[in-house]
Amino acid sequence: MLRYSLRRVVIGMGMLLALSALIFLLLRLAPGDPIDAYIDPNIPMSSSDLADLRSRLGLDQPLPVQYLAWLQQALAGNLGYSIKRLDQPVLNLVLSRIGPTVLLMGTALVIAIVAGIAIGVISAVRRNSLADISFSVFALAGISSPAFLSALIGLYIFSVRLNWTPSGGMLTPGEEFSILDLLRHLILPAALLAIAQAALIMRYMRASMLEVLNQDYVRTARAKGVVEFWVITKHALRNALLPVVTLIGSTIGLAIGGAIFIESVFNWPGMGLLLVDAVETRDYPVIMGATLVIGTCVIIVNLLTDIAYAVIDPRIKVG
């Protein structure tokens, strides 16, 4: 297991390197001149001043030289400074936004796992029933609905029309911090973010559970008179969870993509909102730093998922 984990860490570092190089290249290939993000359009600058600024920023160097210079600083823990917040190191800015995003995504993931597994099991046990058909329609709608559409519809219904939840932010401005106030702001964006994940987990759980319920050892347990609850939970559920565990790890990327839209719509002060603001203002250092941190989180989660897969099924050997 240790050798396997170390090999996966090395592979993950290579993937991070490739990701950073790709994002760096795409940013440089984007329309416009990177120097425009550093200057005030209301202040005229001569061509010599622009050339001097370009030289000081290293933008007059070839792209490989620019990337290697950035990589050298990044490996030393220096991701540079935000263009729009000159007194803010990118690393501090990114780290300050991780907490709210982890809270939002963690809550959404818990909701998705619990709801998806429970609904999937019920649908499999009550195959072709009204409940199964209803849950299948829900899953199809959840998978098909883009995150930004779900966010806008949910915001309109629950915040604007019904006034059940706040319309945005993480806390109520001007009020003292309280867990209840945080939960009121958290529940709607987390639930909306969980919809697509719960739908996917439900579909995989249902299919996996149906396959397991037809196995000989399940029929044998029933023939021995084992209570149906224990047949489902002890004998069938654990084996049916194996493909779902892998799916849960892969949905982290889906959750990150959805979180960007959810945080933008609900003005949630996390990584997604930071990344959107950085793209709009062409804040290249923040885009690179945020992308690097997000990529690192995804790779760590995938590694933990693989390890969990081996723990759940002792027959799985890693090497």
Query: What gap in Å lies between CA 200 and CA 142, rounded to an integer?
Result: 8
Query: What gap in Å lies between CA 194 and CA 165, rounded to an integer?
Result: 17
Q: Is the pLDDT of residue 293 over 80?
A: yes
pLDDT of res. 311: 67
pLDDT of res. 316: 58
pLDDT of res. 1: 64
Q: Per-residue pLDDT tens for 23-32?
A: 888 887 777 6
Q: Is the pLDDT of residue 319 over 60?
A: no
Confidence class for position 310, pLDDT limits 50, 70, 90: low
pLDDT of res. 26: 84
What's the predicted TM-score (pTM) here? 0.80
Q: Are 313 and 242 in contact (CB under 8 A)?
A: yes
Structural domain spans, the chain: 2-75, 90-312
Selected residue with higher pLDDT from 43 and 105: 105
- Percent of the chain whose pLDDT exceeds 70: 93
pLDDT of res. 148: 80
Q: Per-residue pLDDT tens for 47-92?
A: 787 788 778 777 778 888 888 888 888 888 888 888 777 678 888 8
Q: Is the pLDDT of residue 126 over 60?
A: yes
Q: Per-residue pLDDT tens for 230-277?
A: 888 877 887 788 778 777 777 776 777 778 888 888 988 888 888 888
Rg over CA atoms, the chain: 24
* Phi and psi at residue 224, to the nearest 5°: -80, -5
Beta carbons within 10 angstroms of residue 73's beta carbon: 13
Class of domain 90-312: mainly alpha
Q: DSSP character for 235? A: I
Confidence class for position 300, pLDDT limits 50, 70, 90: confident
pLDDT of res. 295: 81
